[in-house]
Structure 1
């Protein structure tokens, strides 16, 4: 009779627990031909934005993220992601109408540029007059003191 030391087993290849039913392994792959496990009938496979918002509102009202995670079969990280996106959207909604803000910025920029073009047009006119006087041999205009 040979006794084997408990630590003499290969540490890199531990013994796998045997399962009494096929396909009930802990993690890993399903046997070929086995159908994927279906979600319970009350848990949707796809989540609409309205359903996500309802879950997030429940989170914000104080329900446990763990309980909601178990109920919805979504990870806590996914629920936190939904919450963060919901709050970011709410913040953007409170900033005002983006079309109005964009239109006001556009109008302000247009007024600024029109004033600049007007000023440049006046400067060009004065320079043309000055050039014509120089070409005609007239002395440049004398500036007077502003005292």
Structure 2
């Protein structure tokens, strides 16, 4: 097995659900930040923030008097992701407009 394959296997084993929960709890307790954890574990802040959102969403559902079933949870996640995509599209549109109005931004983009 190549070193790259071994490294990928270790990464997969290293971030089990149990390990992700432990990291998210460290962040929620204020023992570390997402940025610090990302640097320490060679992860992205976005990846850690996604784990945190999923963790909190699952906790919220677990504490409901009538928890949502899997289908309802999937629909809820789809709606959240659709909102996020909408926000990102708006950000892109704003940046496009700003680059039209500001020639220096166009130069940076073209370089």
TM category (shorter chain) comes to 0.3 to 0.5
Higher Cα radius of gyration = 1
Normalised by the size of structure 1, how large is the TM-score? 0.37
Give the alignment's TM-score, normalised by structure 2: 0.48
Structure with more contact order per residue of length (Cα contacts < 8 Å, sep ≥ 6): 2
Instruction: Pick the structure with more helix per residue.
Output: 2
